[in-house]
Amino acid sequence: MDFFKYQGTGNDFILIDDRARTFPAADQAFIEHLCHRRFGIGADGLILLQTDPEYDFRMVYFNADGAEGSMCGNGGRCIVRFAHDLGLFDSETRFLAVDGEHLAMVSDESISLKMTDVTGIEDRQGLTFLNTGSPHVVCFVDDLESFDVVSEGRSIRYSEPFQPGGTNVNFAQVVDENTVFVRTYERGVEDETYSCGTGVTAVALVAQHELGMPSPVFIRTLGGNLRVSFNPQPNGGFDSIYLIGPAKRVFAGTITV
């Protein structure tokens, strides 16, 4: 079986063309093995591209622990690039993911991915929480470079307000009037990742809601730069949310199933 490795601002994924439905998607241990950075290919997650009668394709996403996950924004941008490389569409696409329909536009330099609408931002025991296709906490800090993202993120990820499923945790520092530096602890990976698409989307919306930062918000991550555009709603929600940034093929190979 052929596989393809893609990355979006350092968030890396194994992409499989599974239109024939031959991949053993129920084998969690096998998927975890493929994502292992020493004994497998190495990735933050694995994504299957499957057919759907009403869409250009269907995205099925698995975390690095082998369990099927919630929406992944950078993974979404990577599968759009993959589908474009496969010739499934020209410049615009409409596909289905676990959180519903997504639209995307492709250029040589970037993928513009429409995210799901956000109905509102919550306070959960003093922590700012929202769902951007995946659950996220957003915390603003003063010195993000030296912040212990893994320890603090893991503590929040498993804390009582977010059980039983847990949450992703984003730590953010304002750089200027329209730029934020973000580091993310991702559940399923159980570590800090170089970038998280649904996470930076969450940070951008909270930056507008709490700090009045205008759209688009420019995001710096360890893996590169992204931007998030959106339309605030009077009820505290957001629509027309787009995650914009690069997605590139890294290499291809063959695995034995």
Per-residue pLDDT tens for 165-209? 999 999 999 999 999 999 999 999 999 999 999 999 999 999 999
Q: What is the pLDDT of residues 103-116, one digit of tens each?
A: 999 999 999 999 99
Please calculate the CA angle 165-135-121 and round it to the nearest 5 degrees: 130
Distance separating alpha carbons of residues 156 and 170, to the nearest angstrom: 10
Distance separating alpha carbons of residues 19 and 16, to the nearest angstrom: 9
Which amino acid, one-letter code, is at 155? S
Closest CA to 47 of 22, 79, 70: 79
Structure-token pair, residue 15: 């992409």
Q: Which helix (H) or strand (E) holds 198?
A: helix 197-211
Q: Which pTM was predicted?
A: 0.96
Query: In this structure, are residues 122 and 132 in contact, taking their beta carbons and an 8 Å threshold?
Result: no
Side-chain half-sphere exposure of 214, counting CA atoms within 13 A: 1
Per annotation, catalytic residue among 35, 72, 78, 139: 72
Which amino acid, one-letter code, is at 254? T
Structure-token pair, residue 124: 């959960």
Which whole number is the average pLDDT over 162-167? 96
Q: Is the pLDDT of residue 257 over 80?
A: no
Distance separating alpha carbons of residues 7 and 154, to the nearest angstrom: 24
Q: What is the pLDDT of residues 5-25, one digit of tens each?
A: 999 999 999 999 999 999 999
Distance separating alpha carbons of residues 105 and 122, to the nearest angstrom: 31
> What is the model's pLDDT at position 61?
98
Q: What is the pLDDT of residues 27-64, one digit of tens each?
A: 999 999 999 999 999 999 999 999 999 999 999 999 99
> What is the model's pLDDT at position 36?
97
Any catalytic annotation for residue 72? yes
Q: What is the pLDDT of residues 58-92, one digit of tens each?
A: 999 999 999 999 999 999 999 999 999 999 999 99
Distance separating alpha carbons of residues 213 and 14, to the nearest angstrom: 35
Instruction: Please give the C-alpha separations between residue 243 and each of 108, 112, 147, 231, 248, in angstroms, as whole numbers.
Output: 16, 6, 25, 13, 15
> What is the model's pLDDT at position 256?
82
